[in-house]
Amino acid sequence: MDAVLKAEGLTKEFKGFVAVNKVDLAVERGSIHALIGPNGAGKTTCFNLLTKFLQPTRGTITYDGRDITRMAPADIARLGMVRSFQISAVFPDLSVLQNVRVALQRKRGDSYDFWRSERGLTQFDDEAREHIDAVGLSEFTDTRAGELSYGRKRALEIATTLALDPAMLLLDEPMAGMGQEDVERTSQLIKRIAKNRTILMVEHNLKVVADLSDKITVLARGEILAEGDYAAVSKSPEVIDAYIGAGHD
Ligand X SMILES: Nc1ncnc2c1ncn2[C@@H]1O[C@H](COP(=O)(O)OP(=O)(O)OP(=O)(O)O)[C@@H](O)[C@H]1O
CA distances from 4 to 80, 162, 191, 225 (A): 11, 18, 19, 22
Show Cβ contacts of residue 125 under 8 Å, excluding neighbours closer than 6 positions. 97, 101
What is the side-by-side order of every strand in the sheet holding 66-67? 17-28, 3-14, 58-63, 66-67
Q: Does 55 bind ligand X (CB under 6 A)?
A: no
Nearer to ligand X, 14 or 115 (CB): 14
Minimum distance from CB of 221 to ligand X (Å)?
A: 8
Show Cβ contacts of residue 27 under 8 Å, excluding neighbours closer than 6 positions. 3, 4, 5, 6, 33, 168, 198, 200, 215
Nearer to ligand X, 20 or 68 (CB): 20
Minimum distance from CB of 104 to ligand X (Å)?
A: 32
Nearer to ligand X, 37 or 56 (CB): 37
CA 171 – CA 99 distance, rounded (Å) = 19
Minimum distance from CB of 235 to ligand X (Å)?
A: 21
CA 142 to chain centre: 26
Minimum distance from CB of 57 to ligand X (Å)?
A: 12
Q: Which of residues 6-45 bind ligand X (CB under 6 A)?
A: 14, 17, 19, 37, 39-45
Nearer to ligand X, 99 or 222 (CB): 222
* 8-state DSSP, 195: T
Minimum distance from CB of 43 to ligand X (Å)?
A: 3
Minimum distance from CB of 134 to ligand X (Å)?
A: 29
Nearer to ligand X, 61 or 137 (CB): 61
Beta-sheet pairing, 81-84 with 66-67: unpaired
Minimum distance from CB of 29 to ligand X (Å)?
A: 25
Q: Contact at 8 Å (CB) between 116 and 203?
A: no
Nearer to ligand X, 45 or 51 (CB): 45
Angle 224-225-227 (CA atoms, 0-180°, nearest 5)? 80
CA 83 – CA 75 distance, rounded (Å) = 12
Nearer to ligand X, 42 or 59 (CB): 42
Give the DSSP H or E segment for 56.
none
The residues of the shown chain that bind ligand X, judged by CB under 6 A, are: 14, 17, 19, 37, 39-45
